[in-house]
A and B are shown apart, each in its own frame.
Chain A
Amino acid sequence: MRAEWTKLRTVPAWALALPAAAVIIVLFGLFPGMQGSCGKPGSATECKPTTGPDGVEVRDSFAFAYRTLDGDGSITVRVAALTGELTDGPGLVPWAKAGLMVKDTTEPGSSYAAVMVTGARGVRMQHDFVHDKAGRKTPLAWLRLTRAGGTIMGEESADGTQWTVVNRVQLPDLGRSVVAGLFVTSPQHAEEDSNTFGVKGARGGPSQATAEFADLAVTGAWQGTQWTKQHIGGPGNGPGQGDPAGGQPGSQELTLTGSGDIAPAVTGAAGVGTSITTTLIGTFAGLIVVVVVGVLFASGEYRRGLIRTTLAAQPRRGRVLAAKAAVAGAAGFVAGLVAGAIVVYAGREVLQSNGVFIPAVPVATELRLIAGTGAMLGLTAVLGLALGMLLRRSATAITAAVVAVILPYLLAMTVLPTAAADWALRVTPAAAFAIQQSAVEYAQVANVYTPVDGYMPLSPWAGLAVLVAWTAVALSGAYYRLVRADA
């Protein structure tokens, strides 16, 4: 093993190539073009979304008709109609929401629980932005929300007499006096642009929804008799967005129009900002470098005839292969680890100073990104080594490794339709790019969840396992050829 390390260390080009791989990854990550803030280019314009109760960035924008509830109480309503408006005419987005809400304050980002009907996702009970529970799949329903201390219960009914509990949730942050009432909101309409090869993009735009509420009834410690109407989180972004309107204050019927979303902030087509994964874009260049080094580390032995000396000194050929793999893998891992650590932290600084919003990620995720980049480089170096031992021709082996690891990734990011891109990133070694995903996918947030937006089809560790499997297959092939064939 020390012999193999010396071989790797003392060839000047290889010794330089590994730090160079790290430098390339860092340079790509700090590339100046990655900027823009909520679509606005320029520095120091970073837009910071509201932060929710758990510290997660959220969007909190909706039309609200509320009264103060000073203690316990309940509110019942029938959602009689829910209609919507898109940029190009009438239409209701699947996650348009209308229903009842109990919220700590009218401040965006404050703790809440809500029971609602949606455009196409049935009755839901959601609280504190990231939690979501489904009820019946029905477009319209009777809804009831009951508050008892920190416990909120949401119920639904088809006829107003038979009630079913959707969910019971605890809101520890809730004060004694809360605001409660009716709300309507309608998130950005987003869909993938095409199902084809070629130019990819997302289409969509703002939307708004209008709900007609009827049979409004309250019991408990409600203050006043007037419903205050307000668009929480600033004016909405709907096509003909006006103030929440309609209905007589104090009556049992009310019409409300709203636009926005009550959900965790996501990156991608329908979201804001860019994920920290973007800073790791240079990984592909580092992978090419370690493939070249890995292949040359193998084929160099054959070209110079050194392999005969190596095998004479260590007749157990499997150990030679193992030692070479360990050295190449460790060297690649360290290069990736260093590059990942620099680029994740320095890249964030650069992007933020350029005005790009980057959602906060847990430390565990940051560590996974950094260690994962190291693992990708290490494994790919071993894959290159194995292909070099197997094919013994450097140009062919390098091309095979690069085409296997990077071409599927490139095609998935640029021209492949999503279905094909998902498959390419499931079965090829390029699946390992999943280890670099930092964006979190929420079922209750309408967004375009595609690889190009940073949402990989496999979970991070499963993706890395695919690369491990391919490397193991290549290594077995290399072992077989090394043991069976003459050197």
Chain B
Amino acid sequence: MSGVLRSEWTKLRTTSGTAWLLLGLVVATIGIGWLATAVTTCTHSDCFLDPTQLSLTGVQLGQIVVAVLAVMLFGNEYSTGLIRLTLAATPRRWTVLAAKALVLTGPVLLAAGVAVAGSVVAGRQYQSVPFRLTPVLGTVIYLALIALFSLGLAAIVRSAAVAIGIVLGLCYAYPLLAAATGDPAWVRRLLQIGPTTAGQNIMSTVDPETLAHAPWNGLGVLALWTAGTLLTAAVLLHRRDA
């Protein structure tokens, strides 16, 4: 396993895009969050302003950068045919998936930690963002789960392009449908099952009664999506020809 890990780490480390994408994650997340906190003013005394969530607005873009990084890790092996070599070297195929997941999680957790902490610090310049562990820690985990989810999808569809299309579609479908739907019961249902809409409850620090899920339950829904995707990927990787 350590050999597989080392080979996957080398692949990730030496791909020219990786460092840029991780840097992009940090810059995009902090930048958009800073902008959002800077331009927002609360004119009504009772406006539903959640400073923590506001300072984390950049995650909307940051998660896409994470997804690109994750789908390229698997998708590019298929587009170059490298996957055949990888699987020949490691006949126990699920270890390849596990190794990829592990080497992806480390750098993503690190960069996401910087991005989320930076967003909160940047947000404190304009809004009274409290230092709270749950949203910060939870959002870092959220980004890691998005990365693993994208990785699993790329392994299932065997193409970076199609995988990123599906990830983006899932990111957007639930909030857009919820915005267009009139029926409150359906809105709640949509927000509860969408991987991003459910997971993003973790960023919220307002009254949990108004949320679709309690923060950690919401993250649990995303974790279920991720686990299901990775499991399917493992089974398909084992069964199919590469």
Note all chain A residues with C-beta closer than 8 A to B36.
197
Query: Least Cβ distance of B68 to chain A in Å?
Result: 5
Query: In the bound complex, what is the Cα–Cα distance between A452 and B190 (angstroms)?
Result: 18
Task: Report whether A288 and B47 are in contact in the complex, using a CB–CB cutoff of 8 Å.
Answer: no
Question: At the interface, yes or no: B172 with Cβ under 8 Å from chain A?
Answer: yes
The answer, yes or no, to whether B1 is at the interface (CB within 8 Å) is no
Q: What A residues does B183 contact at CB under 8 A? A: 33-36, 41
Q: Which of A33, A199, A394 contacts B48 (CB 8 A)?
A: A199
A130 sits at the interface (CB 8 A): no
The SS class assigned to the A binding surface is: helix
Report which of B42, B44, B57, B61 forms a contact with A403, defined as CB distance below 8 A: B61
If A288-B165, A295-B161, A395-B161 touch, whether A196 touches B42 (CB-CB below 8 Å) is: yes
Q: Which of B61, B163, B177, B185 has the most CB of A within 10 A?
A: B177
> Residues 242-270 of chain A: 1 if any B CB is under 8 Å from the residue's CB, otherwise 0?
00000000000000000000000000000
A403 CB → nearest B CB, Å: 6
Q: How many residues on B have C-beta within 8 angstroms of the other chain's C-beta atoms?
A: 47
Q: Which of A394, A402, A452 contacts B179 (CB 8 A)?
A: A452
- Give the number of A-B contacts (CB < 8 Å): 135
- Asked if A372 is at the interface (CB within 8 A of a chain B CB), the reply is no
Contacts A32-B186, A41-B183, A413-B179 given; does A196 touch B75 at CB 8 Å: no
Chain B residues lying within 8 Å of A420, measured Cβ to Cβ, are 39
Q: How far is the CB of A391 from chain B (nearest CB, A)?
A: 11
B167-191 interface code vs A (CB 8 A; 1 in, 0 out): 0110011011101111101110110
Contact B42 A288 (CB under 8 A): no
Instruction: Indicate if the CB atoms of A196 and B41 lie closer than 8 Å.
Output: yes
Q: Would you call B97 an interface residue if the criterion is a C-beta within 8 Å of the partner chain's C-beta atoms?
A: no
Q: Is the CB of A196 within 8 A of B40?
A: yes
Residues on B with C-beta less than 8 A from A289 are 165
Task: Say whether B47 contacts A285, CB under 8 Å.
Answer: no
The answer to whether the Cβ of B147 comes within 8 Å of any Cβ in the partner chain is no
Least CB separation from A414: chain B residue: B175
A226 within 8 A of B: no
Residue A173 at the chain B interface, CB threshold 8 Å = no
- B182 touching A196 by the CB < 8 A rule? no
A28 to B177, CA, bound (A): 8
Given contacts A31-B177, A292-B161, contact A194 B49 (CB under 8 A): yes
Q: A274 interface residue, CB < 8 Å from B?
A: yes
- A410: Cβ under 8 A from any B Cβ: yes
Task: Give the CA-CA distance A429 to B57 in the complex, in Å.
Answer: 21
B-chain residues with CB within 8 Å of residue A170 when the two chains form the complex:
none
Task: Check if A398 is an interface residue, CB within 8 A of chain B.
Answer: yes
Cβ of A209 under 8 Å from chain B: no
A403 touches B161 (CB 8 A): no
| CB < 8 Å neighbour of B71 from A35, A195, A395, A414 | A395
Smallest beta-carbon distance B121→chain A, Å = 18
A433 vs chain B, min Cβ distance (A): 11
A278-B180 contact given A295-B161, A399-B168, A406-B168, CB 8 Å threshold = yes
Mark A292-307 against chain B: 1 for CB-CB distance below 8 A, else 0.
Answer: 1001100100010000
B-side contacts of A403, CB under 8 Å? 61, 64
Say if the beta carbon of B160 comes within 8 Å of chain A: yes
Known: A195-B42, A413-B179, A415-B57. A285 touches B75 (CB 8 A): no
Q: How far is the CA of A409 from the CA of B54 in the complex (A)?
A: 18
Confirm or deny: B164 has a beta carbon within 8 angstroms of a beta carbon on chain A: yes
A198 at the interface (CB under 8 A from B): yes
Q: Are B40 and A398 in contact (CB under 8 A)?
A: no
Query: Which residues of B lie under 8 Å from residue A413 when comparing CB positions?
Result: 175-176, 179
Q: How distant is the Cα of A288 from the Cα of B163 in the complex, in angstroms?
A: 11
Query: Does A396 sit at the interface, judged by CB under 8 A?
Result: yes
**Known contacts A292-B161, A295-B161, A410-B172, A33 near B177 by CB under 8 Å:** yes
Query: Which residue on A lies nearest to B172, using beta carbons?
Result: A410
> Are B165 and A410 touching (Cβ within 8 A)?
no
CB proximity of B150 to chain A, nearest CB, Å: 10
The answer, yes or no, to whether B79 is at the interface (CB within 8 Å) is yes
Alpha-carbon gap, A411 to B172, bound state (A): 10
B108: Cβ under 8 A from any A Cβ: no
Which of B36, B50, B161, B186 is the most central at the interface, judged by chain A CB atoms within 10 Å of its CB? B161
- By beta carbon, the residue of chain B nearest A281 is B180
Q: List 13 A-B contacts (CB under 8 A).
A: A13-B162, A35-B182, A36-B182, A193-B47, A193-B48, A197-B57, A292-B164, A296-B161, A394-B79, A402-B164, A402-B165, A415-B57, A420-B39
The 8 closest A-B pairs by CB, nearest first: A33-B186, A394-B161, A194-B47, A292-B165, A33-B181, A395-B160, A36-B182, A281-B180
Q: A195-B42, A292-B165, A452-B179 known; 11 other A-B pairs, CB under 8 Å?
A: A28-B173, A33-B185, A34-B182, A193-B44, A194-B49, A197-B54, A198-B53, A284-B176, A395-B71, A407-B60, A409-B176
A-contacting residues of B (Cβ < 8 Å)?
17, 36, 39-44, 47-50, 53-54, 57, 60-61, 64, 67-68, 71-72, 75, 79, 160-165, 168-169, 172-173, 175-177, 179-183, 185-187, 189-190
